[in-house]
């Protein structure tokens, strides 16, 4: 038997959580969709019920739905704050101009929404290398050290990430 697992009690807790989930999911989802139409509802619901599972003993028995809606509200606000931060970062990246020569940035002269949409479609590793280079200004050995690769591998990763972003922007008919 695993340490910390109490037969019967864990099953009872699981069933109680499942009952809570079934009884409240649609109501909480309806709240999120009505009050926060611009958030990823599935992500918010996942976060809300993950928190409910983790803090199950803290949920007031006479106000479960209200507690869950409060958690969902906080999750929505977190999502909106994160989106604003991403937009600010990308706006700053879009406005960067290279001092030492012509811009190699695939985003100069493009609509910010098009850039955001294309950037979100990149793989996380491409997003990372682009942000390190364009946002944090890391190039050469600095970029390589941050990524834990050789300078030539870092340069190749950055080049390919820029190509993929450029490709996505061209697919959307981005005007330059």
> What CATH number is associated with residue 50?
1.10.1740
Domain stop point among 32, 55, 84: 84
CATH number (domain holding residue 141): 1.10.10.10
Contact of 24 with 64, CB cutoff 8 Å: yes
CA distance 70 to 106: 41
Residue-wise pLDDT tens digits, 44-56:
999 999 999 999 9
Are 29 and 67 in a shared domain?
yes
Are 113 and 167 in a shared domain?
yes
Residue-wise pLDDT tens digits, 17-38:
999 999 999 999 999 999 999 9
Tokens representing 94 are 């879009």
Contact of 65 with 24, CB cutoff 8 Å: yes
CA distance 57 to 80: 28
CA distance 102 to 172: 24
- Residue 138 belongs to what domain range? 99-171
Positive or negative: CA dihedral 80, 95, 108, 162: negative
Domain stop point among 84, 115, 144: 84
Number of domains, the chain: 2
pLDDT at residue 101, as a whole number = 43
Is residue 174 scored above 60 in pLDDT?
no
Flag whether 60 is in a domain.
yes
Query: CA angle 23-25-56, nearest 5°?
Result: 75
Tokens representing 57 are 């003993």
Flag whether 32 is in a domain.
yes
Are 77 and 123 in a shared domain?
no
Tokens representing 34 are 């009505």
């Amino acid at each position: 038997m695993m340490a910390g697992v109490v037969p019967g009690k864990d099953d009872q807790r699981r069933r109680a959580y499942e009952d809570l989930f079934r009884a409240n999911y649609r109501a909480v989802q309806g709240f999120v969709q009505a009050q926060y139409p611009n958030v990823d509802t599935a992500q918010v619901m996942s976060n809300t019920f993950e928190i409910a599972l983790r803090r199950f003993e803290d949920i007031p028995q006479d106000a479960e739905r209200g507690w869950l809606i409060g958690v969902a509200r906080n999750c929505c606000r977190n999502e909106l704050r994160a989106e604003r931060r991403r937009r600010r970062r990308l706006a700053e990246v879009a406005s960067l101009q290279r001092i030492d020569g012509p811009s190699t940035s695939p985003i100069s002269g493009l609509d910010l929404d098009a850039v955001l949409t294309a950037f979100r479609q990149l793989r996380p590793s491409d997003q990372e290398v682009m942000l390190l280079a364009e946002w944090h200004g890391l190039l050469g050995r600095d970029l390589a050290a941050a990524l834990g690769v050789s300078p030539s591998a870092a340069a190749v990763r950055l080049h390919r990430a820029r190509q993929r972003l450029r490709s996505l922007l061209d697919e959307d008919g981005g005007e330059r």
